[in-house]
Chain A
Amino acid sequence: MMTKSKRLSWGFFVFFIPVFLWLMLLIVLPHIELLRMSFARPAYLKQPGFTLSNYIEFFKEPIYWNTFFRTAMYSITVTMIVLIIGLPVAFYITKVASFKTRGFLTILILIPFWVSELIRVYGWTIILRESGIINHFMTKYGIWKQPIEMLYNDAAMIMGLVYTSILFMVVPIIGVMDSLDNSLIEAAYDLGAKKNVIWRQIIIPHCMPGIISGCIIVFMMVLGSYLTPNLMGGKNSMWFTEQIYNQFILYRNWNMGSAFGFLLLFMSSIIIWVALKLSGQSLKEVVK
């Protein structure tokens, strides 16, 4: 008995220590340091001690909190668009497509993600920019008199964000939709339900855990993305991650940057908490 429990604890530590070290050294410790810095004045002021000035600065400067709320609203919008596109896609893959085409379709969604995000976003710029493919053909055949700049606006940025995050919505929804018994859909149909009622009352309630986990992943990804807003939205993107980047890299103000980082973390936690409460789901159910 003794040897068995010893062996068990030995095996437990083999797996536990790397996870523990990884979490501690790469996540928890840096965050503690960032949290400490966010409550300290910049080093060049040589004024040690606790201060709220980094956070107060954020609320005093409209550009900061404007960007902050804009980022939050656009992240929610992108998440909703991804959900609206993702649901029918997942439904088609799990319930409509034949077993053979099913794998093929999943691969089709997956393949673009084998390429790095940078390359994918540059792909979009090649298509959309002023000297890009669309403009080339449109002006060549005289449909447009002169090239139109389709990049560097909010629509292009949102489209790019939707494109880069759709997989992370579709995959969890496929998971739960797979477990939906087809006969439930048929039973609802047999009992007189129309398509929209079947979606509202049967499919979506069943898929809720997958929808919520997809939404959380997509929301966090979009909120924290830097590359896509920067490359497709350009200077107008006003994404909050850029503000954080600027503080750290441009202004060398790590204290302010840390404060911004924590504000972003705080906001995303609040939004996810509210979303979970509104949808009546528990985090435990969603991460299962």
Chain B
Amino acid sequence: MEIALSVKNVVKKYGDFTAVNDVSFDVEDGKFFSILGPSGCGKTTLLRMIAGFFEPTAGSIEIRGKNMANVPPNKRPVNLVFQHLALFPMMDVKENIAFGLRRRGEKTPEVMKKVHNILERVGLPEYADKRIDQLSGGQKQRVAIARCLVLEPAVLLLDEPLGALDLKLREHMKVELKKLQAEIGTTFVYITHDQSEAMVMSDHVAVMNNGHFEQIDSPSNLYNNPASSFVAMFVGNNNKVTGVLAKDESGKFYVQDKNQLKYAISTIKDCREGDIVGMYTRPEAIIINPAEDKTFFNRTGVHVKAVLFDGGNSRLLVVTPTGQEVLVALPQNHQFDYIKKGDDIMIGWDPASSVCFKETGAKMYDDEI
């Protein structure tokens, strides 16, 4: 497979501040690649370096094997879909889409043919003569993408283009965008802070934090085998228990928290005995009222502090006798309808569903305790 975009050891510094710190990745032709990270992690800076608006402090960016150093944005075979789309309000839909083609000096009949083709592709064939302010949010989205796709770029860059849409439309556009990409076959590099967008659409996702990549993997691997505590916390939900990693007589590992409570764990990655670790367990891996017959199983009685109803994403907020708060997924199949706030129930999970990483003291949000 041909490599459409290759980023090698790219660094971007602003004075003492390093916005992008030694990032490398390759994107194969025709793939949907996402960069996922919290706001301020440097993903926009990285994207703008690929688009050519910033020059990297160090490292190189190659597009289809050509080094892009000192190539200005208007000469690069990439196009960027802006966060707020940046459609030209002074032009109608067809002139917006024709803008790039005209810059290449193509003749009007040819340009109009391409414009109508691409409008059909994005499902807006009758909108050529509409003004931009006559379009809905989703339609603007498609025009913005069409405006770039009509130029047949080697790579299409997308800067959180779904951010401004409401939830339902966003869910819809996610699927649309994925379908469009599969149909047209253009390489997409998509940046977002929304993990669901990244997971649903992408072939590969890079998780970015503090200017560097934590992990580049398929969405299912990110979820199942996070490479760092940041990825574990950022992708999906996780319950975190901090404690010391220890080994019992039979050689099985467990994490002992500050209240001397022990939680068995089967995968310890590169942590060692005696390390202070964070143990991560997903709410959906926790079983309510587990069967009694399981051996090598974490089991604890808890007190239901609140029922957090959120449709298919409902959870129970429970506390262990030692005061550790745990989120437990609550399937909406009427099996657990009897559980009310204030009840005492049993929860348990397989030690294989937990992962642990060496505690770094890093916090995802400032108000985290």
Taking CB atoms, residues of chain A closer than 8 Å to B91 are 201
State in angstroms the CA–CA spacing of A187 and B145 once bound together. Answer: 12
Q: Mark B3-31, 1 if CB is under 8 A from A, else 0.
A: 00000000000000000000000000000
**Using Cβ atoms and an 8 Å threshold, which residues of chain B touch A201?**
88, 90-91, 99
Residues of A within 8 A of B80 (CB): 186-187, 190
Tell yes or no: A30 within 8 A of B by CB: no
**Cβ 8 A contact of B88, one of A190, A194, A202:** A202
Q: Is the CB of A184 within 8 A of B86?
A: yes
- CB interface residues, A 182-203, toward B, < 8 Å: 183-184, 186-194, 197, 201-202
Residue from A186, A192, A205 within 8 A of B86 (CB atoms): A186
Residues of chain B in range 66-80 having any CB-CB distance to chain A below 8 Å: 72-75, 79-80
Q: Count residues of chain A with CB under 8 A from any CB of chain B.
A: 17
Provided the pairs A197-B103, A202-B90, A206-B90 are in contact, do residues A190 and B73 lie with their beta carbons within 8 angstroms?
yes
Q: Say which residue of B72, B79, B88, B104 sits within 8 Å of A184 (CB atoms).
A: B88
Report Cα–Cα, A194/B86, bound state, in Å.
17
**Binary contact track B74-96/A, C-beta < 8 Å → 1, others 0:** 11000110111011111100000
User: Is the pair A192, B151 in contact by a Cβ cutoff of 8 Å?
Assistant: yes
Do B53 and A192 touch across chains, with their CB atoms under 8 A apart? no
Residue of A nearest to B104 (CB): A192
Q: How far is the CA of A184 from the CA of B79 in the complex (A)?
A: 13
Q: How far is the CB of B220 from chain A (nearest CB, A)?
A: 33
Which applies to chain A's interface (DSSP): helix, strand, loop or mixed?
A: helix
Q: Cβ of A149 < 8 Å from any Cβ of B?
A: no
Residues of A within 8 A of B90 (CB): 201-202, 205-206
A181: interface (CB < 8 Å) = yes
Bound-state Cα–Cα, A282 to B104, Å: 33
Chain B residue contacts of A184, Cβ below 8 A: 86, 88
B100 touches A191 (CB 8 A): yes
Residues of chain A with a CB closer than 8 A to B142's CB: none
**Is the Cβ of B151 less than 8 Å from the Cβ of A186?**
no
Top 5 closest pairs, chain A to chain B, by CB: A187-B86, A191-B100, A192-B103, A183-B86, A205-B90
B99 neighbours in A (Cβ, 8 Å): 188, 191, 193, 201
Query: Contact check: which of A183, A191, A193, A194 meets B84 at CB < 8 Å?
Result: A183
List 17 A-B residue pairs with CB atoms under 8 Å apart, sorted by A's residue number.
A183-B86, A186-B80, A187-B87, A188-B88, A188-B99, A189-B72, A189-B73, A189-B74, A190-B53, A190-B73, A191-B74, A191-B100, A192-B104, A193-B103, A194-B103, A201-B90, A201-B91
The answer to whether A191 and B82 touch across the interface, beta carbons within 8 angstroms, is: no
Residues of A within 8 A of B79 (CB): 190-191
Q: Tell me the minimal C-beta distance from A171 to chain B in angstroms.
A: 22
Question: A191–B103 contact, CB under 8 A?
Answer: yes
A197 to B100, CA, bound (A): 11
B191 in contact (CB, < 8 A)? no
**Assembled-state Cα–Cα distance A116/B147 (Å):** 52
Residues of chain A within 8 A of B83, CB atoms compared: 183
Cross-chain contact A190 with B51 (CB below 8 angstroms): yes
Q: Chain B residues near A181 (CB, 8 Å)?
A: 84, 86
Measured CB to CB, the nearest residue on chain A to B90 is: A205
What chain B residues lie within 8 Å of A186 (beta carbons)? 53, 73, 80, 82, 86
- A188 cross-chain contacts in B, Cβ below 8 A: 88, 99
One digit per residue, 1 when the CB lies within 8 angstroms of any chain B CB and 0 when it does not, for chain A 192-222 equals 1110010001100110000000000000000
Which residues 137-193 in A have Cβ within 8 Å of B in the complex? 181, 183-184, 186-193
Across the two chains, which residue of chain A brings its CB closest to B105?
Answer: A192
Assess the B74–A190 pair: CB atoms within 8 A.
Answer: yes
The answer to whether B100 and A192 touch across the interface, beta carbons within 8 angstroms, is: yes
